[in-house]
Structure 1
Amino acid sequence: FSQKVAGIIIGKTDVKSFPDRKNIGTDRFTFSFTIRDSPDFFINVTSWGNGGYINGLSNSFSIGDCVTIENSLVTNKDPEKGDRFCPTTPSHYRLLVTEAHSQVNLCADTDTVDRLLPMIHLPVKDSTDFYSLGDIEANGQRLDGSVINILAAVKSIGEPKQFTTSDGRKGQRLEVKLFDDSVSSFPLVCWDREVIQLVQTWIPKETVLFIADAKIGFDSFRSCMAATVNSKTIITVNPDTREASLLFSYAKQVSESGALDQDEKPEDVPVDSINDVYTVSQLKQKAWENPEAFFGITYSFISRLDLDSSVSKVIRTQCSRCKIQVSEDAQSCVNELCPGRDQALSTTTGFYLLVDFTDHTGTLHACTLRSPVAEKTLGCTTDEFTSLTDDERTMMKWKFLLERCKIYVKILPSTKMRSGIRGVVMACSLADPGEVKQHMSALL
């Protein structure tokens, strides 16, 4: 019988080929995808055929597209064979698409598309059935080899790395760092081209994922737990669930507060072990060529130091458990995901300043100068600073503003900054003129 199904693609595998047993010397090609047409129903679709047909079909749509499938064959699932490598679906059947009988086209009917699009944000598993990253780390190697659901936010996305296997097949690998309110960095590894394409559309720190059926393993190379996306995994991006929206607002808050970068503590290396001197343009150049964090000294003028703006902009109070900014008179943490939410609020207060520094080659904008480095640089505590008059604050500002300083800085890649890089001040003091002359003549 002739049937037509419209659905949104929620998962898709790469094309694979196998030697054809019937026609020796030729290959058969296949790939699978999962479509959904209602909150409760989604089904796997498999397609077999020659290389030209299968590659053409696979290239004609991606995850997130709405398609119509005509004249597919309906077959029973075979849990022993191919179906154990496919996503788990509520249906007892799967669809088979062949070149001779079936057609798959992008859906042209806008009403259907509008009805289907929200389905991409519904997790395929119970939205409360997931592990936090803290749970995974706490269970450690007991979870090694198991398949679980994870809810987490995207912290950063690595570069795809290409490789060739020993038998000459080309492959690729991409690593995403996840975080939630319990763990600030956790690796998710992707091997499939389809998934890697999807990953590259995500915005770090603004994307929450519900990962259904991720494989958890112990990475002995780095001796930590890691998650892997495989052919059973379905990733729901920015899921439409309460848990995800709480995590989304947490991610936004920590990202804006700079707390996420606090696992890159300014005391990564002892300041006195930093010896390399750079001009501002050399710092920028090195950061563009090298996506890893690095350290250096620059003899620059401080060209922005907002000490005379309102105290709330200069001094921040944050929950000592989850690092979210809170108001001074708060009784409990505002973050619904805070691990200590039901306990008495414990806070830390410190300077949080954004400074610019400039030399003859350019300006590095919005570098963070935080406690305890800020106290040392300014020569006063937050309490002392709060009791200063406006005039005294302005005097303190002019002690540094437009003076040449010796600044020890850590440079990090940053997707949020227009320049693509961010600086963290690790130490700062007025520079000794003789020292400046000696170093600057070498750099000019």
Structure 2
Amino acid sequence: MANSFSAQNFIALSDLRPNLARPSIIGMVIGKTDVKGFPDRKNIGSERYTFSFTIRDSPTYFINVTSWGKEDYIKSLSRSFRVGECVIIENPLVQTKEIEKEEKFNPTTPSSYKLLLSENHSVVRICSSYQVDMKLLSLLHLPIRDSRDYYSLGDIVANGQNLDGRIINVLAIVRSIGDPKYFTTSDRRKGQRCEVKLYDETEPSFAMLCWDNESILLAQSWIPRETVIFAADIRINFDKFRNCMTATVISKTIITANPDTPEANILSNFARENAEATALDDEIEAQLKESINLQTIVDVYTVEQLKALALKNEGKTYPFYGILYAYISTLNIDNETVKIARNRCSGCGYFVSEASNTCTSPFCNKDSSGHKSVFLSFDLMIDLTDHTGTLHSCSLTGTVAEETLGFTVHEFLALTEEQKTTIKWQFLLERSKIYLKFLLSPKARGGLRTYVLSCKLADPIEASRNLSGKSNKLENLESRY
């Protein structure tokens, strides 16, 4: 163990037995469920609360831990640690588990026992990362199942409904992480949902759904197109609405991020080699797959606030939306040396090579001839400036660019240079109301990738009112995200 704990005698999980006198154990938290409340049969009208987690202290041993108690105690204990942290548990009750009953809803473990925590007798302490032995930390990158025991995403799609309802293992790369969605059911219970898109060498996009807060929090720590996950005991279902197979994280599921296995290393190399191909333009993907209601975007920001937000929230991957009242300060539409339109593949929306005019993306579902048609699309990078600063290299593409300029891409290319310059100065001299989508990205200039969703000349009175009486939305956004 680490030096801080060298004087303490911990019982290995493999040595646990009932009736041990005040056992003390240490382990990494590899799985965790949400807190739930149930009617207390002994005290009618009141509730008991519970949550479970799984700890591991060696490559071969891990065990489930359950705690029951009053609401304040259970919620406080649950909030005190996360998946991936190390905990010390003192004086838990060691019980023989009923395998069929216990493992129906909990992770399947090699131990014959389970641990119960008591508010009055048990203690859980959190270890800081610098105190933890490296042997324990390495367990976070070791799947709980054989590293070769998994389905590829292509296998799942090929098997189709034959796998409906099955619980299997999956090894894949994280492609994207959706926004957490919060809702209230008809019986007034609050719920949440997050969709993670996966991919591998065999399938370009596969949906994994998270319905509990713990798995959603875990997903937010992953890096799109970099993180590889091994999801043990994940449920596969046929989604009738989408007419495709999906995966769902359940209470039995244990997810290992960036596994240290040969199979995961091969997949990680594949992710690096194809990073550019998978980083499809978000605006095009939004047009093809996402309908954004501009009426739901109401927060007004300044450039200064957006830049401050990027600095304070570095590393987060979910998008946010806002309105900017600004001038287009750079609009190179009348410069013959700057390309303003490029061909895209009709199948996947990815830019195609000018030389071959053929889609080279390994994730494109091409037809039997191996080709897809292409279409010409605006591809502009513009700068937006207000009284506080400038947002550089904002993406204005596709139909949004056509609506902004008032011409289709073919109509615009047929204009004279003089006509293009006239259109350009209409925007450079007038303030616009611009709806934007933002992604916080350390690789982008200023930490922000910015996509224009709508750009129209602003009403002067509306712009003046919003800029003069605008509250500081930055604090609101930080608290929300």
Fold equivalence (TM over 0.5): yes
Letter in 1 for 2:193: L
The answer to whether the 8 Å contact 1:134/1:183 transfers is no
1:139 corresponds, among 128, 144, 159, to 159
Change (3 A) 1:129 1:117: same
Aligned partner letter, 1:245: S
| 1:355 corresponds to | 381
Tell me which amino acid in the other structure corresponds to 2:177: S
Alignment partner, residue 176 of structure 1: 195
Matched to 1:183, the amino acid is P
1:177 deviates by 3.2
Among 251, 258, 265, the alignment partner of 1:238 is: 258
Structure 2 residue 423 is matched with structure 1 residue 423: no
Q: Provide closer, same or farther for how the CA distance between residues 317 and 53 of structure 1 changes in structure 2, counting only shifts above 3 A.
A: closer
1:414 aligns with 2:443: no
Measure the CA separation in 2 of the matches of 1:425 and 1:20. 54
Q: Bigger shift: 1-10 or 301-310? A: 301-310
In the other structure, the counterpart of 1:112 is 132
The one-character-per-residue Cα deviations of 1:138-196 (angstroms, maximum 9, x if unpaired) are: 43333222222232414132233131452x5x331122231315233625132x23223
State the 1:30 CA deviation: 2.5
Number of the residue aligned with 1:385 = none
SS of residue in 2 equivalent to 1:9: strand
2:114 equivalent to 1:94: yes
1:218 is aligned, of 238, 242, 265, to: 238
Provide the C-alpha distance between the structure 2 equivalents of 1:247 and 1:209, rounded to a whole number of angstroms.
14
| 2-structure distance, mates of 1:113, 1:234 | 22
After superposition, residues 231-270 of structure 1 pair within 5 angstroms as: 231-240=251-260, 241-246=264-269, 248-249=271-272, 252-254=275-277, 256=279, 258=281, 262-264=284-286
How far the C-alpha of 1:231 sits from its partner, in A, is 0.8
Deviations 1:171-230 (A, max 9, x none): 31122231315233625132x232233334444454433222222223344444332221
Contact 1:253 1:324 in 2 (8 A): no
In structure 1, distance between residues paired with 2:354 and 2:63: 49
Q: 2:330 aligns with which of 268, 279, 303?
A: 303
Q: Offset at 1:85?
A: 0.8
- For residue 158 of structure 1, the aligned residue among 163, 179, 191 is 179
Q: Describe the shift of the 1:160–1:256 C-alpha distance in structure 2 as closer, same or farther (beyond 3 A).
A: closer
**Aligned with 1:38 (options 49, 58, 78):** 58
2: distance between equivalents of 1:299 and 1:21?
Answer: 62
Q: Which AA in structure 1 matches 2:127? A: C
Q: Contact conserved, 2:438 with 2:448, CA < 8 A, in 1?
A: no
The structural deviation recorded for 1:33 is 0.6
Structure 1 residue identity aligned to 2:96: N
Change (3 A) 1:301 1:145: same
Q: How many residues align?
A: 400
Matches within 5 A, 1:310-329: none
1-structure distance, mates of 2:90, 2:383: 63
- After TM superposition, the score normalised by the length of structure 1 is 0.66
Q: Structure 1 residues 114 and 316 mapped into 2: Cα distance closer, same or farther (>3 Å)? A: farther
Question: SS where residue 100 of structure 2 aligns?
Answer: coil
| AA aligned opposite 2:207 | F
Contact map agreement 1:154 1:176 (CA 8 A) in 2: no
Distance in 1 between the 2:45 and 2:136 partners? 42
Q: Does 1:69 align with 2:89?
A: yes
Q: Deviations over 1:229-281 (max 9, x none)?
A: 211011223333314413542573235563x6654467999xxxxxx9xxxx8
How does 1:44-59 map onto structure 2 within 5 Å?
44-59=64-79
Q: Is the 8 A contact 1:305 1:401 kept in 2?
A: no
**Residues in 1 aligned to 2:259 and 2:422: alpha-carbon distance in whole angstroms:** 48
Query: Structure 1 pair 248/82, CA: closer, same or farther in 2 (3 Å)?
Result: same
- Whole-angstrom distance in 2 between the partners of 1:6 and 1:401: 68
Residues of 1 paired with 2:234 and 2:220: CA distance? 19
2:228 maps to 1:208: yes
Q: Percent identity?
A: 35
Q: Quote the Cα distance in structure 2 between the aligned partners of 1:421 and 1:401.
A: 23
The C-alpha deviation readout for 1:81-114, integer Å capped at 9, x for no partner, is: 2332111223233222223443221125845344
* Structure 2 unaligned blocks of 5 or more: 1-19, 304-318, 403-407, 464-481
> Aligned to 1:32, what secondary structure does the other structure show?
strand
Q: What is the CA–CA distance in structure 2 between the aligned matches of 1:110 and 1:118, rounded to whole Å? A: 13
Q: Distance in 1 between matches of 2:332 and 2:137?
A: 47
After superposing the two structures, state which structure 1 stretch, 157-166 or 346-355, moved more: 346-355
